[in-house]
Chains A and B, each alone.
Chain A
Amino acid sequence: MITIPENSALILVDVQDSKVQVPLYDGEYQQKRRKFYHDNVEKVTRYFRALKNIPIIHIIELHRNDLVDFGRELDGSEGIHCLEKDSYFWEPAAPAEGEYVIPKRRYSAFFGTDLEILLRGLGVKHLFICGGMTDICVHYTAVDAHQYNYHVHVLKEACGTHSPEEVAQAALDSIEYLQTGSVISVNDLSYK
């Protein structure tokens, strides 16, 4: 069981949907993984909302429709993704009133955003992180959080990716290398 320190925030990384079909999630296997991850994101969001005093921050990856801000993001495995005209928050965990929204252009939620300004303003020291993709945006956001001196807590079942299971596990291992005990289970959340 884990107690949520008072100076915590919940960060949902790229829990988003698209008006265009993303073939990466095609097939029964990927759909099943996606549902499992989404169900857990919903559970986590509900849990943190019920605590009432913990800020919830929704990160969404958005790229300009003219593709100007992709940088080197199309040199690897990813195709054109998350265009502003197509992207929106996944409805069951979408931002509620009083929650914060931060769009980003890169993998890390700290890169070129006001996330750190917000966290300092809120006096946050502990970040509870969930979302996708486990091995990219969640991984690099956790790494940057760690490098900026935050304690990180990654809710493993509430993180998703279409990459192979062992790749996701390697990313979680990498976060655990940086902070022992940082990868936690949704089942560790204690219901008082």
Chain B
Amino acid sequence: MIIPENSALIVVDLQDGDGCDGIPIMKGSKTYENAPKIIKFFRDRQLPVIQIREMHRADMSDFGRELDGVEGVHCLEGTRNVEFNPLTAPAKTDYTIGKRRYSAFLGTDLDLLLQCKGIKTLFLIGGLTDVCVRFTAVDAHQHDYHFYVVTDCVTGSSWKAHEYALKNMKYLQRESNITALDILEGEVQ
């Protein structure tokens, strides 16, 4: 595929953890197999890599309504769960943004950063497909960005929720569902 030169890679919530954070995760995702390759592809071509991570204050003051559903307490500051995963950890040239909500646009400077960099096209990888990735995609779309989601580099809360979220993103933008190979065999123009 053609990767426009005004593109950025958004890495959503690929965080470290002790495996007991309060979030359900589908089994068998290829995210960590593909993410390092995709991140390298963007870095090698000097396209911005923006690493998002979810973090909540240790006194739990900023959870809002996030504990009213399926998710338990998660991503507390001061625990390993807020650190970036070593497999995909930010390089010096990557940008990092902490967030308190699902959407990487809500209460963050992501839109400002993208505008300053002249970015118009976003490639999304990470998790969860049906929560933070999807709601970041929806906000990107509502903010007039073109977006692509790398279907074999995102992980959902369940396979079913993952599939429906991808379908939902396709409803918003016809060509939005791509694969890791589309990028790795792609060309920047």
Partner of B65, one of A108, A149, A163: A149
Partner of A179, one of B69, B145, B175: B69
A71 at the interface (CB under 8 A from B): yes
Contact: A71 with B173, CB < 8 Å? Answer: no
B170 at the interface (CB under 8 A from A): yes
By size class, the interface of chain B is 35 or more
Contact: A135 with B168, CB < 8 Å? Answer: yes
Contact: B174 with A180, CB < 8 Å? Answer: no
| A177/B138 contact (C-beta < 8 A), A71-B144, A170-B161 known | no
Across-interface contacts of B141 in A (CB, < 8 A) = 71-73
Contact: A143 with B102, CB < 8 Å? Answer: yes
Within 8 A of B (CB), among A135-184: 135-136, 140, 143, 146-151, 163, 166-167, 170-171, 173-174, 176-180, 182
How many A-B contacts are there with CB distance less than 8 Å? 97
Secondary structure type dominating chain B contacts: loop
Across-interface contacts of A77 in B (CB, < 8 A) = 170-172, 174
Q: Which 3 A/B pairs are nearest by Cβ-Cβ distance?
A: A170-B164, A71-B144, A149-B64
Name A residues whose Cβ lies closer than 8 Å to a Cβ of B: 71-73, 75-77, 106-108, 111, 135-136, 140, 143, 146-151, 163, 166-167, 170-171, 173-174, 176-180, 182
A-B contact pairs, 27 of them (CB 8 A): A71-B141, A72-B145, A72-B146, A75-B173, A75-B174, A76-B173, A76-B176, A77-B171, A108-B142, A135-B168, A140-B138, A143-B138, A146-B64, A147-B102, A147-B103, A149-B64, A151-B68, A167-B167, A167-B168, A170-B164, A170-B168, A171-B168, A178-B66, A178-B68, A178-B70, A179-B69, A182-B69
